[in-house]
Amino acid sequence: MNIIVCLKQVPNPDLQFQIAPSGTDIKRDTLNYKVNGCDEYALEEAVRLKEKLKGKVTAITVGPKRTEQMLREAMAKGADEAVRVSYEDPAALNSYQVSKILAEAIKKIPHDLVLTGVQSDDYIYSQTGAMMAGFLSCPHVSVVTKVTVEGQNLKINRELEGGDQEIVSTKLPALLTIQSGINQPRYAPLPAVMKAARAPIREIKPQDVGAQSWDQFAGGFQFKVRKVYLPPSRGKAEMFTGKASDTAAKVAQLLKDKGFWRGG
């Protein structure tokens, strides 16, 4: 089975972000980046399916040169190949354009299954996977918590609102967006890290998919960030200290005073 897993590099959420002078983005010149959280689970699921069914895993991303570090980490964790769709300012892309660009690149790679994370840690739109499936004209299942391959069919558990589970089936090829918690992502062993550091990374440019520039995939609408701002402060936090029993009583009384608790 040939599996493609889509990865995104996002700003490290442990950082303290600052608003750029333009007021429409964060300051990015001093940021460090990490792989998107849900995409880590998608990568692990792809590698596990490969180990069980044989085949190949290809990791792909849209981004600048710095994203190659993420792709090498993916190869160290079990991906066989890596592809970088060359775009120097991924923050300027909207979900439609990213989806279209990825779909055009994926069409050039043999595949049976495409996996993505259910959403990105930075924008949290949950749009890219579903739109990509439309551009690829393949079945799509979202918020996937379990994947079972049965020949050319997939049996899939997906999460619904309220924690309910739905079991669906579809045929290959297909695209799945993977929910966090579906598995336990592995650590990369040192020998694999060293091998991945020397591995080639394929680069895809617009000309490779028959385009003059990536702007050709911008879609028939305009997407513009009007303003980025920090949420307003809502007041100081109240800290309770002392014995656990005393603290519990204070918290219970606070909940009653605020109208959150109407019990005895």
Q: What is the pLDDT of residues 164-217, one digit of tens each?
A: 889 999 999 999 999 999 999 999 999 999 999 999 999 999 999 999 988 888
Q: What is the reported pLDDT for 113? A: 97
In a domain, 77, yes or no: yes
Query: pTM to 2 decimals?
Result: 0.84
Q: What is the reported pLDDT for 236? A: 75
Average pLDDT, the chain: 90
In a domain, 34, yes or no: yes
In a domain, 149, yes or no: yes
More confident residue, 236 or 159: 159
Query: pLDDT over 70 for what percent of the chain?
Result: 97
Residue 178, SS3? strand
Angle at which helices 128-136 and 95-106 cross, to 10°: 40
In a domain, 176, yes or no: yes
In a domain, 235, yes or no: no
Tokens of 44: 């692990």
In a domain, 232, yes or no: no
Give the angle subtended at the CA of 134 by the CAs of 129 and 140, to the nearest 5°: 55
Does the pLDDT value for residue 264 go beyond 60? Answer: no
Domain count, the chain: 1
Could you report how far apart the first and last alpha carbons of the chain are, in Å?
59
Does the pLDDT value for residue 150 go beyond 80? Answer: yes
Q: What is the reported pLDDT for 18? A: 85
Measure the CA–CA gap between 144 and 104, rounded to whole angstroms.
24
Q: Which of 67, 73, 64, 79 lies closest to 9, judged by CA?
A: 67
Q: What is the reported pLDDT for 234? A: 76
CATH number of the domain at 76, please: 3.40.50.620
In a domain, 189, yes or no: yes
Q: Residue range 116-137: average pLDDT?
A: 91
Q: Residue range 251-261: average pLDDT?
A: 84
Q: How confident is the model at residue 125 (pLDDT cuts 50, 70, 90)?
A: confident
pLDDT tens figures, 21-63: 888 888 887 788 999 999 999 999 999 999 999 999 999 999 9
Q: Which residue intervals of the chain are DSSP H helices?
A: 37-53, 68-76, 95-106, 128-136, 190-197, 244-257
Residue 115 carries which DSSP code? E
Domain range for 60 is: 2-217
